Structure 1
Amino acid sequence: MTKKMIVFTGGGTAGHVTPNIAIMNELDQAKWDIQYIGSHKGIEKELIEKINVPYHSISSGKLRRYIDMENVKDVFRVMKGVGDARRILKKLKPALVFSKGGFVTVPVIMAAKSLNIPVFIHESDLTPGLANKIAQRFATKIFTSFDEAAKYFPADKVTVVGSPIRKELLQGRAQVGLNWLHFYDTLPVLTIMGGSLGARRINEAVREALPELTKKFQIVHLCGKGNVDESLKDVRGYKQLEYVHDELSDVLAATDYVITRGGSNAIFEFLALHKPMLIIPLSKAQSRGDQILNAASFKKKGFSLVLEEEQLTKETLMEHIQQLQKGALTMKQTMREATKTDAISTLVREIEAIK
C-alpha cells in the first residue's frame, strides 16, 4: 500500500502543538507518512523531535497587532518562510496540510495554497487568533472548538468539532495517581495548573491559603519551572511540581477539582474528564483576552466557575473553591451531557477522506 503524506504545522506555544500530536497518534501509521513544519527555534521543534516525527524548519516572523518597526522586518521573514515552505512541500508532495495556528503556520498555508495542496485548520479559541484570521482565506476546511467561533469563518468551510483531546488522558488510573503523589483517599484532591510557565498570582494566592486548603484537600500544585517553594516542601498534603508528563493522566484521574488558566486545550480536556473547574484566565494585560472569552463561555454553559485574576485574593479563592464544591455534582452532570467532546474521531475521519 502506498502511504499518503500529511504535513502538520503549528507553533509558538505548546497549545498549538499538543493537539497536532493528539491527532498524529490516532492516524494509521501504515497509511500515513507524517511530517511537521515549524520554526527554527520554537517550542514546536522540541516537542516534535521528542516523538521522532521528521521536522522541517522555516523562517517565520511574529504577527503583531500593534505598530512596531520589527513588523517591517517580519514581512520579509514571512516572505522567506513562504519560499522555504514551498520548497519543502514541493519535495514532500503531501495530500494535506493540517494547521493548529501560531505565526509559523501562515507561510506554510500560503505555500500550500499556491501548490493546490488542501489545507485544514483548527481554531481552539472562541475568537480566532491573527494567524487563523489570515489563513482562513487559503483554507479548504476550518474546524473550531467553540460553537461561538464558527461565526468568524466562512459558513461553507467551517465545522464545530470541539478540541482534539489526547486519548491517553482519558485512560488514567486514580489509585496509581494517588500512590504516585503519596496521597490517600481520605480527602479530595485539588489540582492547580497555571500553564507551562506557571502563574505567579495563582501560586501566591494558593500558598497564602495553604493552611486552610490543606484542612479540606490534598493539593497538587503544578507551579511552573523554577517556581517550587522549598520552604513548603514538607507541608503535609501539598505536592509541588514544576510540571507532570507521563504521570499526568493518572494524576488527573485522582483529581476531584481543578483550578486552571483559560487555555482552550486545557479546559476542553477537563470537560472531557468531567472535572469541576475554577478558571482564572489570563488578564487582558497579559494576552489578547481569548482566555477571558473562553472562560465566560464555559461558565455560561455550566462547565466551570470563573474568577478574574484582578479579583484574586486568598479570600476570593477560598470563596470560589467552596462554591465549586457545592456545585460539583450539577457541573459534572452538565459536562456529561455536553456534545462535541470527541473531536479526534471527527478530524481523523475528515483527514482519511482526503484523496
Structure 2
Amino acid sequence: MEKRIIFTGGGTAGHVMVNVAIIPEFIKDGWTVDYIGSKAGIERELISSIDQVTYHPISTGKLRRYFSKENFKDPFKVLKGTMQAHRIIGQKKPAVIFSKGGFVSVPVLIAARMRGIPAVIHESDFTPGLANKIAIPFAKKVLATFPETTKYLPEKKAKWIGAVVRDELFTGEQKRGYQITGFNRGKNVLLIMGGSAGSKRMNQAVREGLDQLLRQFQIIHICGKDNIDESIKQEGYVQYEYVQDELKDLLAISDIVCSRAGANAIFEFLALHKPMLLIPLSRHASRGDQIVNAESFEKQGYAKVLEEEDLTTESLVEALGNIRKDKMAIKEQMNQYRSSEAKQSVIDIIQQTAK
C-alpha cells in the first residue's frame, strides 16, 4: 500500500531547511512526497532541487503584526489557500502532514483538520511564531528545538527534540571552498549572511568597513537577492546573492560567521563549531524571536551579540575583532555541544502519527 506524506512551510529559508533535511529520508523509505507551498516563495526554489517531490502552489496571506492595507485582503487569500489545500489533500490522501511553519502552512493545517489528516508541526524558535500559534490547535504534535519552548506549547502536544541539522553540511570540502572563492589558507575567513532575504543594514556596514575588515579576514558575503554591489572588486572579498549547494564548502573554510539569529541557521553553525557574531532582527522588524535566540546562544558561550540598533561600521569591526581573539574559547564551549539525534526523532514521530 502506498505511503504518502505532504510537507509544508515557507516564507524564509528557515521555514524550509528542516523539510529539506528530512524529505530524502522519506523518499528512501518508499514514501510518495508532495509539498504545498506558496507560488513565489523561496520554498519553491529550494524544494525544486529535490527529485521525486511534487510541488503544489497555493494562495497565501501574510500574517502581519502591524497595520497594512493588505491586512484586509489577507483573510480572503487564506480562505482561498485553505480551499486549494483542501482539494489537494483530498486528491492525494496523505497519511500525515508535516509543517515547518511560515504563513503558507496555516491554510494547509486548517484543511488537514477538515479532512481528518493528522499533522505534526516543528517550531525552531525559542517562542512559537504567529503562524504556528494559529496552526497549533489543528496539529497532533508540536516539536521544539529549544527545551524552554515547551512551556509555551500545549503540554499534551509538546515534545522537545533538539535541532535538525542537514547531514550534507558535514560533507563540505575545504579544498573546494578555497577553489570557489580563490582565497588562501593563511588568513582567517569570515562568512557573512543576512538571511535568505539579505539585510541592507548589515550589507552597508560591511561594505563601509571593508578596508578595515580585510586587514583581519578574507570575506564571503552572502548579501541576498539583488544586493550584490558590482562596483566592489577587492582581493579577499567575494559576494553571492544566495548560496545553496556550495554552502557546505564555504562553511568548511570559514573560521567565524556573522549572521542573523534564525534558529535553524545558528544551530547549524553550532553543530559545525563555528564561532558567531549574531545580529538579530530588531523588534521593529520582527516579533523579537531572533533576539531571544541570540541571547540564549550568548549565555551558553556559543556567540556574541550585536543588537541591530547598535550596528555601525565601527561596532561591527570591533565585535568581529573580539570574536577573532576569543574564537578558541568559543570553540571549546561548542565542543561540549553534541548534535542530537533530532532528525531521526522527527522522522519517528511523523511515522508514528501517520494515519
Decide which moves more: 282-291 or 301-310. 282-291
2:241 — aligned with what?
A: 242
Q: Distance in 1 between matches of 2:339 and 2:251?
A: 21
2:260 — aligned with what?
A: 261
Cα deviation, residue 339, structure 1: 4.5
How large is the RMSD of aligned CA atoms in angstroms?
A: 1.9
Q: Distance in 2 between matches of 1:120 and 1:10?
A: 12
Cα deviation, residue 68, structure 1: 4.9
1:127 — aligned with what?
A: 127
2:327 — aligned with what?
A: 328
CA contact 1:3–1:30 (8 Å) conserved in 2: no
Q: Distance in 1 between matches of 2:223 and 2:175?
A: 23
Count of matched residue pairs: 353
| Within-5 A mapping of 1:177-256 | 177-233=177-233, 235-256=234-255
1:151 — aligned with what?
A: 151
Given residue 171 of structure 2, which amino acid in structure 1 is its aligned partner? Q
Cα deviation, residue 224, structure 1: 2.2
Q: Is residue 38 of structure 2 the alignment partner of residue 36 of structure 1?
A: no
Q: Distance in 2 between matches of 1:187 and 1:270?
A: 20
1:283 — aligned with what?
A: 282
Distance change (3 Å), C-alpha of 1:153 and 1:223: same
Q: Distance in 2 between matches of 1:232 and 1:71?
A: 40
Given residue 282 of structure 1, which amino acid in structure 2 is its aligned partner? L
Distance change (3 Å), C-alpha of 1:350 and 1:10: same
Cα deviation, residue 209, structure 1: 2.2
Decide which moves more: 59-68 or 296-305. 59-68
Q: Distance in 1 between matches of 2:292 and 2:92?
A: 39
SS at match of 1:197: coil
Q: Distance in 1 between matches of 2:143 and 2:41?
A: 24
2:97 — aligned with what?
A: 97
1:47 — aligned with what?
A: 46
Cα deviation, residue 211, structure 1: 2.1
5+ residue gaps, structure 2, are: none
Q: Distance in 2 between matches of 1:156 and 1:340?
A: 26
2:3 — aligned with what?
A: 4
Q: Distance in 1 between matches of 2:297 and 2:247?
A: 23
Q: Distance in 2 between matches of 1:198 and 1:61?
A: 22
1:298 — aligned with what?
A: 297
Given residue 330 of structure 2, which amino acid in structure 1 is its aligned partner? M
SS at match of 1:51: coil
Cα deviation, residue 72, structure 1: 4.2
5+ residue gaps, structure 1, are: none
SS at match of 1:27: helix
1:27 — aligned with what?
A: 26
CA contact 2:63–2:103 (8 Å) conserved in 1: yes
Cα deviation, residue 130, structure 1: 1.0
SS at match of 2:201: helix
CA contact 1:170–1:273 (8 Å) conserved in 2: yes
Runs of 4+ in 1 over 6 A off after TM superposition: none
CA contact 1:85–1:107 (8 Å) conserved in 2: yes
Cα deviation, residue 151, structure 1: 1.1
